[in-house]
Structure 1
Amino acid sequence: MSDPHDHDMHEHEHHEEIVLPGDEPQGESVPEAGLISGRSASVRFNRRSDSVHRSNRARMDAANQSLADALKITYGLLQVGMLVLVLLFVFSGVQRVNEGERGIKVLMGKPSRTNIEPGAHFTAPYPIGEMIRVGEGAVEVPLANDFMPNKPGSSSAQQMIDAPLTEFNNNGRLKPGSDSMLLTADQNIAHAQFRVNYHRSNHLRYVENILPGNEASIVRLAVRRGVVHTMAETTIDDLLKTSSDTIATRIRDIAQDTLDELESGITIDRVVLVRKSPPLFLSDKFASVQSAAQSAGEKRETALRDREQLLNEIAGRASGILISMIDEYERLTELGEKEQAEALLVQIDAAMTGAEGEWQGQSTYGLVSGEVSEILKNAQAQASSRVSRAIADLEQFRAKQAQFEANPSLMIARDWSSALAEFLNKDFVSTMYLPEGRDAELLINPDQDWEEERLRLERREEAKKQQEQRRKEAQQDFYRTQRGIQAEEEP
C-alpha cells in the first residue's frame, strides 16, 4: 500500500536510474559517438518516465500484499498450534489408575491426595503435578537358594524348590562361597527354603522410602534376618519336629518389625516354610532317628487310646475321678492319716455305687458304669442271694427242730430215708435188688467207659470250682484295703 501524499510528491520528481551498456531503452535518443571523447562509460544514469515508475510501484504493492497475507495465515496457524499445545498440556493431567493399583496425587512435589481408587482422575500436568501409581496386589518372593547347598547348573527359584535333595551338593563339604546354610541354637547345620507373600499396605510410605527396583531385595533381606534370628533360638530337633507354622510365624514377626522400622509401607502376609532338612550327607541318619521317634509317638498314642478305652470299659466317665481318689487314698495311708483315709474311702464307695458325692468340685453322681458297675451289681445280687439262702436255711432248721422235738424217731427215719434216696440217685451208684434169704456173690468188672466219664466229670467240676475261686480272690485283691474285707456274718 502506498501513501497518496508520497505519490503526488513523486509525480513531480525526476527519477534517475543506473543503466548498463546494452540496456538502453529502445526509442530513446543516444548521443552520438563523436560527441563524446575518450572511452565509453561503463555505467550511466538514465531518466525514466513516470509511467514506468508507476508500473513498478504497482507490482511491488501486490508482492507486499501477498507477503502480508502469508504472514497473517502463518500467524493464525501458529496461534492454533499454541492453543492445541496448551490444551494437550492441560489434558495431560488426566491420568488413569488401573485395576489392582492405587494412586497418589502429587502437586509441586508434595502429595496432595492418597489412596486414589482405580479410574480416570485429573491432576496438575507434569512437572507441576504427577499421578504415582502403586500396585496393591499380593507379591511372592521365593527364598530358594538362600539357605541351601549349591545346585549344579542354572535353575529358576521354582525349579530349585521342586528339585529333590539329591540334586544339591551332598558330598559332606560345604563351601562358604557357593553353599548356604543355617546355624541352629545347638550349633548344628540345617537347610531350609521359604516362600514370602506380601503386599503394599501404606502406599505413601512405600513411595517415599522404597525404590521399586529395590523392593524385592529389601523384603528378602528382612526375611533372611528373621530366619537367622529364629534359627539361632531353635535346636535342630525342634526345627525338624516342631510344626512349620510355628517357626514361620516367628520369622514373619521379626521380618515385619524390620520393615516397620524402615517405614517401608510393606506388610508381610505370611511366610511359608517349604522345606527343612538336616545336613544332606547326614539326612539318612536323621531320617532313621525321626522315624523311630515317630514310631514311638504312634505307639504312645495307641497306648493312651487303649488306656482310655480300657478305663472307659471299666468305670466309664468316673474312671478319672476314681483314679485321683484312689491315689489320694494311698497317699493318706502312707502318711498314716487313718481318719482322712477312712473318710475318703467312704467317698470312693459312694462314687463307685453312683451315689451323691463330690470330688474336687465335680459331682460323682451317676458317673460310674462299665465293668465296675457290673461287678457291684453282681456282688449285691450275690449278697442278697446269701442272705435269702441263710434265711431259708434258718427257717428250715427251726421247722426241723420243732418236728424233732415233737417226734424224734419219725424225724430221724425220714431224714435217713431222704439221704439214702439221694445217695442212690448218684450217677456213680449202681443199685441191684436180691431176694431175701439167699447169699449173693458179686464179681464186678469195672466199666472202663463209665469210670472215664466219671473222672472227666469230676475234673470238670474241680476246674469250675478253681476258676470261680480265682475270680473271687482276684476281685477281693482288687478291692482290698488296709482295713481288709469284712466277712459277712451269717445269722
Structure 2
Amino acid sequence: VLICFLVSGMFIVDEKQVAVHSRFGEQRGAPRPPGLHWGLPYPIDQVVRVSTAPKMLKIEDFWLRLREEDKTKNLDELNARSGGLDPATEGALVTGDKAIWHASFKVQYKVPVAGANDFVRNVKDEEALLRVAIKEAAVAEAARMRTEEVWKKPASLAEAVKARAQRELDTLSSGIQLDNVAVPESHYPLQTNAEFLAVNTAENRKQTVINDAQSERQKKLNGMAGAAWSDINAEIEKLDQVKEDAERDTIIARVGELLATKATGEAGGKIKLAQRDREKIVNDTLAEKAQFEALLEPYKRNPELMRLRLSQLMRDDLFGGKGVSKWVLPPNDKQIVLWLGIDPKEIAEREQARLLRVTKGR
C-alpha cells in the first residue's frame, strides 16, 4: 500500500508545458520541464501544469456592432447610420483630439518558463486579466494620439498598447509575456461616413497636389542643373547653419566647383558658354596686349609717324570694307546735293560680281 501510495505521486509533463510543484501550498523550486517527475501524493504535494505555448486572444470591446449579414461585407459598403452610439452595445476609443474611433485588437501571448511560478501564484483567469490590461492600455494610449495617427498608423497604437499593458502585467507579477499586439481592424463610426469621406477626399487631393509639386520641382531642378542639383542644394542649405566666414567661403567655393564641374541642364550650359566666352575674351585681350607692346617701341622712336601710319591703316580698314560706298567731294564751295542711296549702277556691278563668283566665270 505504501509503495502504491508513493508511486501515485509520479507525474508526466508534456511538451510545451511546465509543472509548478507545491508542498503544503508552498512552491518548491523552479518549474519542472517536460518529462517524468515524482512528488509526494496529493494532498501533500500539488502539481499545476502550465502551458508555455503561444496563445491568441481577440478583443472587440471597441469594435462596431454589426449584424450577422454585415460581418462578411466591406465596411465601406455599409450605409451610414443615424443617431449616436449606444455605449451599452457599442464600444469605441476616444482620441486625443476628442474624436471617436473603432478598433479591434489581436493579442499573442504566452507564459514563459521563468514566469510560470508567478502565473500560478497570482493569476486565476488569464483571459479576463489580459482583457482588462489591454482595454485599459488602449483607452489610455488612444487618448494620447490624434485621430490621424490612430487611423493611418494602427501599428503605432498597437505598439504603445503592448508596452503599457506589459508594464501593468509585470507590476501584477502575472508571469504573462505579450509577444505581439496588432490592430487588424480600424474604422471610423458609420454615423460620420459622409464627413469622413469628404475629409479623405480632401486628403487625397492634397497628396496629389503635393506629389505634382514635387514632380514639377524635380523636373525643374533637373532641367536647371541636372543630377547634380541635390548636391548643390545640400551645400546651399548648409549656408543657413554656419556662422564662421571661413566656413561659408568654403561652402560657396564648393557650390561653385559643383556648378562648374558637375552641373548640366540650363545652368550647366550657361556656365560652359560663359567659360568659353571667358577664354575668348582673355585670348582677345592678350592679342591686343601683344599688338600694343609691338607698337610701343616704334611709337617711342617717332610718335608722329606712328600716328600717321595707324590713321592710314584705320582709313584703309574703313573704306576697304565690302558694301562701303565712297563719295569724293570737290574742293570748291559749290553747293552739292547728295542722294543717300546706293547708285543703281553700283548695285548692278555688285550683282554681276556676285553672279561671277557663284558661277565661277562660266
Q: 1:255 deviation in Å?
A: 1.6
Q: 1:385 deviation in Å?
A: 0.3
The alpha-carbon distance between structure 1 residues 275 and 126, as it changes in their structure 2 partners (threshold 3 A), is same
What secondary structure is seen at the aligned counterpart in 2 of 1:180?
coil
Using the alignment, how far apart are the partners of 2:287 and 2:35 within structure 1?
A: 103
Using the alignment, how far apart are the partners of 1:412 and 1:107 within structure 2?
A: 127
Contact 1:105 1:130 in 2 (8 A): yes
Q: 1:228 deviation in Å?
A: 1.3
In structure 2, the partner of 1:381 is 276
Using the alignment, how far apart are the partners of 2:154 and 2:311 within structure 1?
A: 97
In structure 2, the partner of 1:318 is 232
What secondary structure is seen at the aligned counterpart in 2 of 1:198?
strand
In structure 1, the partner of 2:45 is 129
Q: How does 1:239-318 map to 2 (within 5 A)?
A: 239-241=150-152, 243-301=153-211, 303-304=213-214, 307=217, 310=221, 313=226, 315-318=229-232
Using the alignment, how far apart are the partners of 2:350 and 2:122 within structure 1?
A: 127
Using the alignment, how far apart are the partners of 2:96 and 2:73 within structure 1?
A: 28
Contact 1:318 1:367 in 2 (8 A): no
Contact 2:17 2:34 in 1 (8 A): yes
1:432 matches 2:349? yes
Using the alignment, how far apart are the partners of 1:229 and 1:419 within structure 2?
A: 94
Identify the match of residue 175 of structure 1 among 74, 79, 86. 86
Aligned positions, number: 315
Using the alignment, how far apart are the partners of 1:224 and 1:413 within structure 2?
A: 103
The alpha-carbon distance between structure 1 residues 150 and 416, as it changes in their structure 2 partners (threshold 3 A), is closer
Q: How does 1:117-266 map to 2 (within 5 A)?
A: 117-144=33-60, 146-153=61-68, 164-165=74-75, 170-201=81-112, 202-211=115-124, 214-241=125-152, 243-266=153-176
1:116 matches 2:32? yes
The alpha-carbon distance between structure 1 residues 353 and 235, as it changes in their structure 2 partners (threshold 3 A), is closer
Letter in 1 for 2:349: M
What secondary structure is seen at the aligned counterpart in 2 of 1:254?
helix
Q: Which has the larger radius of gyration?
A: 1
What secondary structure is seen at the aligned counterpart in 2 of 1:204?
helix
In structure 2, stretches of 5+ residues that fail to align are 299-304, 326-345, 352-362
What secondary structure is seen at the aligned counterpart in 1 of 2:97?
coil
Using the alignment, how far apart are the partners of 2:79 and 2:20 within structure 1?
A: 46
Q: What TM-score does the superposition give when structure 2 sets the normalisation length?
A: 0.71
Contact 1:103 1:116 in 2 (8 A): yes
Q: 1:136 deviation in Å?
A: 0.4
Q: 1:292 deviation in Å?
A: 2.3
Higher relative contact order (CA 8 A, sep 6+): 2
Contact 1:147 1:192 in 2 (8 A): yes
Q: 1:226 deviation in Å?
A: 0.8
What secondary structure is seen at the aligned counterpart in 2 of 1:276?
strand
Q: 1:147 deviation in Å?
A: 1.2
Q: 1:302 deviation in Å?
A: 5.3
Using the alignment, how far apart are the partners of 1:252 and 1:168 within structure 2?
A: 33
Calculate the aligned-residue CA RMSD, in Å: 4.0
Q: 1:422 deviation in Å?
A: 8.2
In structure 2, the partner of 1:74 is none
Letter in 2 for 1:432: E
Using the alignment, how far apart are the partners of 1:208 and 1:163 within structure 2?
A: 44
Letter in 1 for 2:52: E
What secondary structure is seen at the aligned counterpart in 2 of 1:125?
coil
In structure 1, stretches of 5+ residues that fail to align are 1-82, 333-339, 355-364, 424-428, 435-491
What secondary structure is seen at the aligned counterpart in 2 of 1:131?
strand
Q: How does 1:316-465 map to 2 (within 5 A)?
A: 316-325=230-239, 350-354=253-257, 369-371=262-264, 372=267, 375-392=270-287, 411=313, 415=317, 418-420=320-322, 431-432=348-349
Any idea what the Cα deviations from partners look like across 1:447-467, whole Å, max 9, x if unmatched? xxxxxxxxxxxxxxxxxxxxx
